Amino acid sequence: MEENELQDQVEKVISRPEGEEEKSKYKKNEAKARIILVYSIKDHLIPHVVGLKTTKAIYDALGKLYAINNINKKLALKNNLHNIIMTK
């Protein structure tokens, strides 16, 4: 994303511009960013992002998919790691 200067497409909510030239640039950048995201993920993740309209929505959905924001999940993972270490 950084190489193609498309970081804003996935990090910020960008409203659709009014002018024709701006609309064309917006659509082009949105398409590039979407292609980069879709080709970067594994095939089994495609159903999680197939219905999303913007690249920001795709990026956020993938982030939420891998984020651990639940304390119970963290504790369970920590317990699993402890058990693995103890069995070795």
4-46 residue pLDDT tens: 667 777 777 777 778 888 888 888 888 888 888 888 888 888 8
Q: How many CA atoms lie less than 13 Å away from 62 in the CB half-sphere?
A: 21
pTM (predicted TM-score): 0.60
Return the pLDDT at 43: 86
CA distance 72 to 75: 5
Alpha helices (H) along 15-54: 20-40, 46-49
Give the pLDDT band (50/70/90) at residue 76.
confident
